[in-house]
């Protein structure tokens, strides 16, 4: 009995020592990691400061002016005139868009141009117009004729952007094709 | 140790006094124990003495000259940013590479490794440095953090880095006078840098509490883009008119903020080798000038504000005024009776003198003080000159002051005074820190009546339409202003050819937002045969500044009111 308790105590002691050692060791590892991260943060911060200074150096109005003067001819740059500055409400209202205008100015590749713009805005819509574009390319005349009466009814929505209008037309064209 | 010695001695004494001593134990060891102990002690003692002696010797020895020089304690400073947050001054850490040749194992290898990061390194020179046997040599100053970490990765023994904080001004000379300079210890010595120190940063740094992270950036009222435009126009004008100096300021009349202020010649704060030169002076706030005809704005405003003069009043300007030895003539004499607007647009000295006469000498002096033109300006910038005026005002002083001679003030103050005549009659202290209109109005005081302001706005517009300020007009921005061509005093006399020109303008005239004032010192005609009056140099400077800066200042162009001045019913 005396020996068992001894052994137990020794075991406890050894395991306690082992545990302490392990904890201490882990703490040291963690500490080292913390130091490393702190050093990293410091260098990052310094780098940010430096990049900020670099950025403001590169965007100096004086530098930009030099560059614009240098590339004036190549890029066709001109000084802005006071007459070019207008408020939003001063813009003249856009004349209502009719299907004839779009047909006149687009053709096949016109639709394509709109399509790339609409991809950014609305993927689904873009896909539709793509399908429509194909349909249109194959049978141009009849589809246009089918779409025409419907679109005049919708002329009230002329304030919509061209892209949206094109999408709508595309939908209709699709409908027409199905019929 | 002493106790043991005593014991040993006691024992031997006891043996000698004749009492019975059992000696056998000592005999058994041959009586040598004592000697051995003593010997051991002596040996150890001598070792310790040697060590102590060596330590003392080291203590007296000076440290060997190895390692980098002691690091300079460079205190952190807050960033200075413009009103849009663009950096005007910032602290950047640079590190410099040094080597301790004594600890370099293989110089050739070290150079080869360094050359992978620093391709421009000079082999021969570096080799000589590393072989010199000196304690310490600089290899390369001011490395980027990237280069530093790459060199560290090389793991070359015997080299190290010293980091230093350096003040960096990305805008360079564009805003040099406003931002100011720091000395080698990172203390502000001029401009806003000095102001920041005076606000308690210096104490904070002394107590070691100025930690970079806690320092908020100082936001100035300056708009870097507008500042660049003003600096650019002013510098070009100085060249174009072969002047000795030029300057310009854009002042917000509603908030009292200085949006841009430039003076040339100036210096590059990143390399301020010439900052102490005699002609490097912020002329806008620290230069005193007789402002000339721009002062007629104040004379007219004073006359209108007194109530004794209206815009319909007439003054006889047909004959020069003679007072004492001086005769006052008109530059563009009309030789007839002039109304108040005519006095203003023809810039009649005689008419202005008579306007001042209506108010009286004391009244005149009081009015100029009220507009703060003769007080030392209170603002953040430390470089501010105190205006000069005659100690005792006599009639001649009032007459000359009416057209801006005989008293000198700073151009910035003139702009501030004009702002009061345009913004509804409130004198607002100029500031270089961001401020709102409401904050400005709290400290503002009324100096002239609404009616006077109305009259002055009309006169400014009229002068740009029909008078000397035609060249300052910018289509769409309704500019109004007043020229000033002052003769400079050369050897105690007013010179006919050496001039100081100024133009003060406000825009847009239907509701003035900004005052733009330009000065040009000793301009020559742009081409032979052309004039060198303010209308032909200072006014176009204003026009260029407004044309370029107005869109950035948020002033909307309006072409509907181009002929507003003639429509006003006078």
With CB atoms and an 8 Å threshold, state whether B87 touches A53: yes
B560, closest residue in chain A (CA to CA): A83
Higher pLDDT among residues A22 and B570, named by residue: A22
With CB atoms and an 8 Å threshold, state whether B145 touches A47: yes
**Structural domain tally of chain B?**
2
Set of chain B residues whose Cβ sits within 8 Å of the Cβ of A56: 86-87, 90, 170-171
Closest CA to B255 of B475, B431, B84, B437: B437
Per-residue pLDDT tens, chain B, 570 aa: give them.
555 555 555 555 554 555 666 666 656 666 678 889 999 999 999 999 999 999 999 888 876 655 556 555 567 888 999 999 899 998 888 788 888 888 888 888 888 888 888 888 888 888 888 888 777 888 887 787 778 888 888 888 888 888 778 888 999 889 999 999 988 777 889 999 999 988 877 777 777 666 666 788 999 999 999 999 999 999 999 999 999 999 999 999 999 999 999 998 999 998 888 888 888 889 999 999 999 899 999 999 999 999 899 888 899 888 888 887 778 888 777 788 889 999 998 888 999 999 999 999 999 999 999 999 998 998 999 999 999 988 889 888 899 899 888 899 999 999 999 999 999 899 999 999 999 989 998 888 899 999 999 999 999 999 998 888 888 988 888 899 999 988 888 888 888 888 899 999 998 998 999 999 999 999 988 777 777 888 889 999 999 999 999 989 988 888 876 554 444 433
β-bridge partners, B445: B427
Kindly state whether residues B160 and B234 are assigned to the same domain: no
pLDDT at position B23: 61
Kindly state whether residues A99 and A25 are assigned to the same domain: no
Kindly state whether residues B489 and B534 are assigned to the same domain: yes
Kindly state whether residues A92 and A172 are assigned to the same domain: yes
Kindly state whether residues A115 and A162 are assigned to the same domain: yes
**Structural domain tally of chain A?**
2
Kindly state whether residues A103 and A168 are assigned to the same domain: yes
Kindly state whether residues B243 and B374 are assigned to the same domain: yes
pLDDT at position B324: 78
Instruction: Provide the greatest CA pair distance for chain A.
Output: 108
For residue B12, being part of any structural domain is answered with: no
Which of B198, B219, B240 terminates a domain? The answer is B219
Kindly state whether residues B185 and B240 are assigned to the same domain: no
Kindly state whether residues B215 and B242 are assigned to the same domain: no
Residue A85's contacts (CB-CB under 8 Å, 6 or more residues apart) are B551, B556, B557
Kindly state whether residues B232 and B185 are assigned to the same domain: no
For residue A74, being part of any structural domain is answered with: no
**SS3 label, residue A150:** helix
Kindly state whether residues B265 and B178 are assigned to the same domain: no
For residue A70, being part of any structural domain is answered with: no
**Separation CA B234–CA B549 (nearest Å):** 13
For residue A109, being part of any structural domain is answered with: yes
pLDDT at position A25: 96
Higher pLDDT among residues B495 and A72, named by residue: A72
Task: Give start and end residues of each alpha helix (H) in B17-105.
Answer: 24-28, 33-60
Kindly state whether residues B250 and B180 are assigned to the same domain: no
CB-nearest to A82 from B92, B229, B475 is: B475
Which of B179, B196, B219 terminates a domain? The answer is B219
For residue B500, being part of any structural domain is answered with: yes
Q: Look up the domain containing A146 and give its range.
A: 88-178
For residue B45, being part of any structural domain is answered with: no
Kindly state whether residues A170 and A92 are assigned to the same domain: yes
| Tens-place pLDDT, residues A46-68 | 888 888 888 888 999 999 999 99
pLDDT at position A150: 42
Which of B204, B219, B234 terminates a domain? The answer is B219
Percent helix, percent strand, percent coil in chain B, to nearest 5: 40, 20, 40
Q: How many CB atoms lie within 10 A of CB B395?
A: 14
CB-nearest to B557 from A50, A56, A82 is: A82
Place of tokens 């793509």: A130
| Tens-place pLDDT, residues A80-127 | 888 888 888 878 887 787 887 778 776 654 444 444 444 444 444 444
CA B213 to chain centre: 24
Set of chain A residues whose Cβ sits within 8 Å of the Cβ of B144: 50
Q: Cα distance from A66 to chain B (closest Cα, Å)?
A: 11
Q: Look up the domain containing B183 and give its range.
A: 80-107+131-219
Please list the active-site residues of B: 293
């Amino acid at each position: 009995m005396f020996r068992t308790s001894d052994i137990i105590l020794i075991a406890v002691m050894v395991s306690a020592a082992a545990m302490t050692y392990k904890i201490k060791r882990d703490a040291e590892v963690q500490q080292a990691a913390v130091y490393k991260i702190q050093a990293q943060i410091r260098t990052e911060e310094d780098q940010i400061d430096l990049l900020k200074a670099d950025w403001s150096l590169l965007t100096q109005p004086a530098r930009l002016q030099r560059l614009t003067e240098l590339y004036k001819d190549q890029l066709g740059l001109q000084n802005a005139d006071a007459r070019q500055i207008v408020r939003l409400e001063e813009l003249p209202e856009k004349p209502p868009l009719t299907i004839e205008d779009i047909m006149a100015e687009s053709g096949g590749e016109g639709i394509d141009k709109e399509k790339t713009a609409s991809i950014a805005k609305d993927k689904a819509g873009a896909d539709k117009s793509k399908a429509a574009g194909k349909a249109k390319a194959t049978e141009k005349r009849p589809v246009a004729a089918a779409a025409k009466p419907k679109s005049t009814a919708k002329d009230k929505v002329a304030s919509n952007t061209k892209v949206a209008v094109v999408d709508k037309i595309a939908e209709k064209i699709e409908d027409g094709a199905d019929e | 140790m002493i106790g043991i010695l005593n014991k040993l001695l006691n024992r031997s004494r006891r043996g000698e006094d004749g009492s019975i001593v059992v000696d056998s134990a000592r005999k058994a060891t041959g009586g040598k124990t004592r000697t051995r102990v003593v010997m051991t002690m002596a040996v150890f003692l001598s070792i310790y003495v040697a060590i102590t002696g060596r330590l003392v010797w080291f203590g007296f020895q000076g440290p060997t000259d190895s390692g980098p020089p002691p690091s300079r304690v460079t205190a952190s400073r807050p960033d200075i940013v413009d009103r849009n947050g663009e950096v005007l001054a910032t602290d950047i850490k640079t590190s410099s590479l040094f080597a301790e040749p004594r600890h370099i194992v293989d110089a050739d290898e070290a150079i080869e490794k360094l050359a992978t990061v620093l391709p421009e390194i000079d082999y021969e020179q570096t080799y000589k440095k590393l072989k010199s046997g000196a304690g310490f040599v600089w290899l390369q100053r001011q490395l980027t953090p990237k280069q530093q970490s790459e060199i560290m990765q090389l793991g070359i023994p015997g080299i190290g880095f010293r980091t230093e904080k350096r003040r960096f001004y990305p805008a360079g000379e564009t805003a040099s006078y406003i931002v100011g300079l720091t000395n080698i210890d990172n203390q502000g010595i001029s401009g806003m840098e000095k102001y920041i120190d005076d606000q308690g940063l210096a104490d904070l740094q002394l107590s070691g509490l100025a930690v970079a992270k806690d320092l908020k950036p100082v936001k100035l009222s300056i708009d870097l883009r507008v500042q660049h435009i003003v600096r650019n126009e002013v510098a070009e004008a100085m060249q174009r008119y072969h002047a000795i100096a030029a300057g310009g300021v854009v002042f917000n009349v509603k908030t009292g903020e200085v949006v841009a202020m430039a003076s040339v010649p100036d210096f590059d704060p990143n390399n301020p080798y010439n900052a102490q030169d005699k002609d490097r002076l912020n002329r806008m706030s620290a230069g005193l000038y007789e402002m000339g005809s721009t002062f007629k704005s104040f004379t007219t405003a004073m006359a209108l504000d007194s109530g004794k003069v209206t815009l319909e009043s007439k003054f006889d300007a047909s004959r020069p005024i003679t007072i004492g030895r001086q005769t006052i003539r008109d530059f563009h004499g009309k030789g007839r009776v002039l109304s108040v607007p005519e006095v203003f647009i023809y810039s009649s000295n005689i008419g202005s003198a008579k306007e001042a006469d209506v108010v009286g000498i004391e009244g005149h002096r009081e009015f100029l003080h009220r507009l703060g033109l003769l007080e030392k300006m209170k603002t953040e910038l430390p470089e501010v000159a105190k205006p000069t005026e005659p100690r005792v005002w006599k009639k001649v002083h009032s007459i000359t002051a009416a057209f801006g001679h005989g008293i000198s003030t700073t151009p910035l103050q003139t702009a501030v005074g004009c702002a009061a005549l345009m913004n509804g009659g409130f004198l607002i202290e100029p500031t270089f820190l961001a401020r709102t209109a409401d904050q400005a109005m709290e400290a503002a005081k009324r100096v002239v009546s609404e009616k006077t302001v109305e009259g002055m706005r009309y006169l400014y517009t009229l002068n740009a339409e029909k008078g000397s300020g035609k060249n300052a007009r910018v289509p769409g921005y309704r500019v109004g202003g007043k020229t000033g061509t002052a003769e400079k005093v050369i050897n105690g006399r007013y010179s006919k050819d050496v001039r100081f020109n100024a133009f003060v303008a406000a825009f847009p005239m239907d509701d003035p937002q900004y005052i733009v004032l330009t000065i040009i010192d000793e301009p020559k005609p742009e081409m032979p045969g052309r004039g060198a009056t303010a209308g032909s140099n200072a006014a176009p400077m204003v026009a260029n500044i407004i044309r370029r800066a107005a869109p950035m200042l948020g002033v909307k162009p309006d072409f509907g009111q181009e002929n507003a001045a003639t429509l006003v019913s006078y």
